Amino acid sequence: MLLANYLRQCGVDLDLQSVILRIAQGSVELCSRVDNNAAVTVGEENLSGDEQIKLDVLADAIFTGVLQGEKVVYALVSEEKDDQELVNEEGRFTVAFDPLDGSSLVAANFSVGSIFAIYEAKGAIGVTGADLAAGIYCLYGPKTMLVFAIGDKIASFTMHKGEYYLEKNDLRIADTTKYFAPGNLKAVNYNLNYGKLVDYWISHDYKLRYSGGMVPDIHHMLYKGDGVFAYPGMTDQPNGKLRLLYECIPMAKIVEAAGGFSTDGEQSILTKKVESLHQRTTFCVGSKAEVDRYIELQV
């Protein structure tokens, strides 16, 4: 079933349907425009201090372009832009996005993604996961896929000839797992509790599944039915690296809709209030028993 038909069949709010279909359209365009120069650096850094590559800039321009044409959008926030951009004063939604997650993996042709958080709010400051109308990611790998969570509904779609078709709507994450994805592994040298957690996983024969791209790393747990992904902080980077507004909240929403859990070590990522657009947060997400272990060990 086509994405548009599925959204209609599920009775998704019409305005939200339009925004999701714009995002799908953007991802189709992005796939058609990737070329040999994708990983060339452009000599600029974004606000977070990451070096931009041509594909970051292209992805940002494409998704900004499609979403600017959508009158139900109040404002846009992109990882690649310092400030929020007003689209329509009358709009209902603020769409925050990471146009290309995993830029540093593009040169090596690893899987990468795009992440979107559609908030029912006029502006991003002060929102929490409770304001999220939908969390979405696109995954560019052997297959191009789109996964969304709306309320407690989660569904995945595969792109074929420029259209997304329903693949699964029964994705679940079990409470226990033997897969682990330890982001920021060097932090074990400074954050000794993270070292204890990683030692536990290794000494109990857990299987490593880590690509360095959060979208494929989290997608792995949805498709295997269990797993845990962590990106903790350390002394000189207490809040880790990942951004709350447009990386962690939408990914946590998708995982929680599938029955998993999320935390920053103290509270669910979905209850954490956004205080600044590019705010970072520590993050652990996945099977309940492992998210609990992360909290208990005070990583």
What is the binding site for Mn ion (CB under 5 A)?
79, 98, 100-101
Q: What is the distance, to the nearest Å, from the Cα of residue 192 to the centroid of all Cα atoms in its chain?
A: 27
Residue number of the CB closest to ligand AHG reads 214
3-state helix, strand, coil in the chain (%, to 5): 35, 30, 35
Closest CA to 255 of 280, 290, 279, 281: 290
Ramachandran region, residue 75 (left: φ > 0; alpha: ψ -120 to 50; beta: rest): beta
56 catalytically annotated: yes
Instruction: Please say which residue, 241 or 293, places its beta carbon nearer to ligand AHG.
Output: 241
91 binds, among ligand AHG, Mn ion, none (CB under 5 to 8 A by kind): none
Q: Is 199 a catalytic residue?
A: no
Amino acid of residue 290: E
Closer residue to ligand AHG (CB): 193 or 211: 211
Contacts with ligand AHG, residue ranges (CB under 6 A): 50, 79, 98, 101-103, 183-184, 212-214, 231, 241
The question of whether 89 is a catalytic residue gets the answer no
DSSP state of 206: P
The question of whether 80 is a catalytic residue gets the answer yes
Which token pair is 234? 């350390």
Tokens 């507004």 belong to residue: 245
Check 15, 60, 70, 80 and give the catalytic one: 80
CB of 49 to Mn ion, least distance (A): 12
- Judged by beta carbon, residue 213 or residue 260, the one nearer ligand AHG is 213
170 has catalytic annotation: no
Cβ distance to ligand AHG smaller for residue 46 or 94: 46
Pick from ligand AHG, Mn ion, none: which does 213 bind, CB < 5 to 8 A by kind?
A: ligand AHG
Q: Return the amino acid letter for 25.
A: Q
Element (DSSP H or E) covering residue 117: strand 112-120
Q: Which of 217, 247, 264, 290 is catalytic?
A: 247
Euclidean distance between CA atoms 115 and 101, whole angstroms? 7
Q: How far is the CB of 23 from Mn ion (least distance, A)?
A: 15
Q: Which of 79, 217, 226, 290 is catalytic?
A: 79
Residue 136 near residue 118, CB atoms below 8 Å: yes
Tokens representing 241? 């690296």
Choosing from 58, 100, 245, 277, which is the catalytic residue?
100
Sign of the Cα torsion 262, 131, 1, 144 reads negative
User: 101 vs 264, which CB is nearer to Mn ion?
Assistant: 101
Annotation marks residue 98 as catalytic: yes
Q: Which residues are catalytic?
A: 50, 56, 79-80, 98, 100-101, 247
